[in-house]
């Protein structure tokens, strides 16, 4: 026969489990819309990925997830807004490789430390940056030809902003290949792509999400991709390492973050919803946008993030990235 004390003990044990913790003290979460901050302008890969994820995540949470663009300072404006928000789970942040691995060097006094201030809910995607030229301005057909032209001086390259992966990729190429070009940072991917289309710059690194259609249309010529292996979106384009720049490998990724002081039951609810949202349909939408889903097991994400940050910081220091 089950005594009252035994029954109470069993109930207490059940309430200690994650599933009931999620529906216990924090059972009301969420009871109004959740915002997802993107630290970059509309139209870039981080914005694209956020909008793909927001709909299924909102469906799993039972409340809309509203994307909010807070652009500037290499994503730091958005990171500051998320850091200053109430740590109640209603404000999420899309993290990027550059925000973790370049911004600590460029914006050391920003007051934001992503590793200190946020918890990862999970990884979303990774992708290559594509090294592209506009043949109408610079008619080179390989990385080797670009480097040879660069060593003569006078080249201008665009980026999606100071401290971005686009900026890092170009700086790293110049350091490893031994040439210098003038940097023109734009406020996001859309104006940087427009600048290359208008033949205002000689070359640009930008993600597969924003470069692939231009390459396929023939308006851009892709010389190489930044990753260690060829990009699934552009399998015919060699890696920059294959093209002769030994040791060149940069993979760009996005994560979903929440304030570190968010109550654990809310974090658990968000992680559960995020994992469910990253289903086959969402993965297919990511691939259709020319990026690859990145599914690191939840328990492994913190260690993965530490390794990635260390790798990016090392690259950024060696490349000598600075604000232009």
Rounded to whole angstroms, how far apart are CA atoms 150 and 155? 6
Tell me if 105 is assigned to some domain. Answer: yes
Tell me if 175 is assigned to some domain. Answer: yes
* Surface-to-core class of residue 191, CB atoms within 10 Å of its CB (0-12 exposed, 13-18 middle, 19+ buried): middle
Rounded to whole angstroms, how far apart are CA atoms 304 and 251? 13
Q: What pLDDT does residue 71 have? A: 95
> What average pLDDT is seen over the chain?
92
Stretch 128-139: mean pLDDT: 98
- Beta strands (DSSP E) in 134-239 are 156-159, 182-185, 203-207, 221-225
Nearest residue to 92 (alpha-carbon basis) of 254, 213, 286: 254
What pTM did the predictor assign?
0.88
Q: Is residue 21's pLDDT more than 50?
A: no
Residues 6 or more apart in contact with residue 311 via CB below 8 angstroms? 101
Q: Which sign does the torsion angle of CA 151, 178, 321, 229 carry?
A: positive
Query: Do 132 and 203 touch, CB atoms closer than 8 A?
Result: yes
Q: What pLDDT does residue 322 have? A: 84
Tell whether 53 and 112 lie within a shared domain: yes
Stretch 28-40: mean pLDDT: 97
Tell whether 176 and 118 lie within a shared domain: no
Confidence grade of residue 165 (pLDDT, cut at 50, 70, 90): very high
Stretch 108-129: mean pLDDT: 95
Tell me if 213 is assigned to some domain. Answer: yes
Q: Is residue 5's pLDDT more than 60?
A: no
- Which of 30-39, 63-72, 108-117, 244-253 is predicted with the least confidence, judged by mean pLDDT? 108-117
Tell me if 10 is assigned to some domain. Answer: no
Q: What pLDDT does residue 27 have? A: 64
Rounded to whole angstroms, how far apart are CA atoms 290 and 130? 12
Tell me if 26 is assigned to some domain. Answer: no
Question: Which one has a higher pLDDT value, 3 or 193?
Answer: 193
Q: What pLDDT does residue 110 have? A: 86
Distance from CA of residue 323 to its chain's centroid?
20
Tell whether 66 and 141 lie within a shared domain: no
Q: What is the pLDDT of residues 273-297, one digit of tens each?
A: 999 999 999 999 999 999 999 999 9
Tell whether 144 and 178 lie within a shared domain: yes
Confidence grade of residue 150 (pLDDT, cut at 50, 70, 90): very high
Tell whether 89 and 157 lie within a shared domain: no
Tell whether 112 and 257 lie within a shared domain: yes
Stretch 182-186: mean pLDDT: 97
Tell whether 133 and 215 lie within a shared domain: yes
Tell me if 21 is assigned to some domain. Answer: no
Q: What pLDDT does residue 26 have? A: 54
The tally of domains found in the chain comes to: 2
Percent of the chain with pLDDT over 90: 87
Q: Is residue 240's pLDDT more than 60?
A: yes
Q: What pLDDT does residue 323 have? A: 81
Instruction: Count CB atoms within 10 A of the CB of residue 176.
Output: 18
- Beta strands (DSSP E) in 226-324 are 252-259, 292-293
Tell me if 210 is assigned to some domain. Answer: yes
Tell me if 265 is assigned to some domain. Answer: yes
Q: Is residue 185's pLDDT more than 80?
A: yes
Q: What is the pLDDT of residues 41-83, one digit of tens each?
A: 999 999 999 999 999 999 999 999 999 999 999 999 999 999 9
Tell whether 201 and 257 lie within a shared domain: no
Tell whether 117 and 144 lie within a shared domain: no
Q: What pLDDT does residue 18 have? A: 45
Tell whether 211 and 150 lie within a shared domain: yes
Q: What CATH number should be reported for the domain holding residue 112?
A: 3.40.190.150
Tell whether 147 and 287 lie within a shared domain: no
Stretch 209-233: mean pLDDT: 97
Residues spanned by the domain of 206: 129-225
Q: Is residue 6's pLDDT more than 80?
A: no
Stretch 120-144: mean pLDDT: 98
* Surface-to-core class of residue 160, CB atoms within 10 Å of its CB (0-12 exposed, 13-18 middle, 19+ buried): buried
Tell whether 61 and 75 lie within a shared domain: yes
């Amino acid at each position: 026969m089950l005594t009252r004390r035994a029954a109470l003990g069993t109930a207490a044990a059940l309430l200690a489990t994650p599933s009931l913790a999620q529906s216990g003290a924090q059972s009301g979460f969420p009871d109004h819309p959740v915002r997802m901050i993107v630290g970059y302008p509309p139209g870039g890969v981080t914005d694209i990925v956020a909008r793909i994820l927001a709909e299924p995540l909102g469906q799993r949470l039972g409340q809309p997830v509203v994307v909010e663009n807070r652009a500037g300072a290499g994503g730091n404006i958005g990171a500051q807004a998320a850091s200053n928000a109430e740590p109640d789970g209603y404000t999420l942040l899309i993290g990027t490789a550059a925000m973790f691995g370049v911004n600590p060097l460029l914006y050391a006094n920003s007051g934001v430390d992503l590793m200190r201030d946020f918890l990862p809910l999970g990884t979303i995607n990774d992708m290559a940056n594509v090294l592209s030229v506009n043949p109408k301005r610079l008619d080179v057909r390989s990385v080797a030809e670009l480097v040879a032209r660069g060593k003569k001086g006078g080249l201008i390259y665009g980026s999606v902003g100071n401290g971005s992966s686009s900026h890092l990729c170009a700086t790293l190429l110049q350091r490893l290949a031994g040439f210098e070009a003038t940097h023109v940072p734009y406020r996001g991917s859309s104006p940087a792509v427009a600048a290359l289309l208008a033949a205002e710059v000689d070359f640009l690194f930008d993600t597969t999400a924003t470069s692939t259609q231009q390459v396929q249309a023939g308006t851009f010529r892709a010389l190489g991709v930044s990753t260690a292996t060829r990009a699934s979106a552009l399998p015919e384009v060699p890696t920059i390492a294959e093209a002769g720049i030994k040791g060149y490998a940069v993979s760009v990724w996005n994560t979903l973050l929440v304030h570190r002081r968010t109550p654990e039951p809310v974090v658990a609810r968000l992680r559960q919803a995020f994992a469910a949202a990253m289903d086959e349909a969402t993965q297919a939408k990511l691939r259709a946008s020319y990026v690859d889903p990145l599914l690191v097991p939840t328990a492994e994400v913190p260690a993965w993030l530490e390794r990635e940050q260390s790798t990016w910081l090392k690259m950024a220091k060696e490349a000598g990235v600075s604000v232009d």
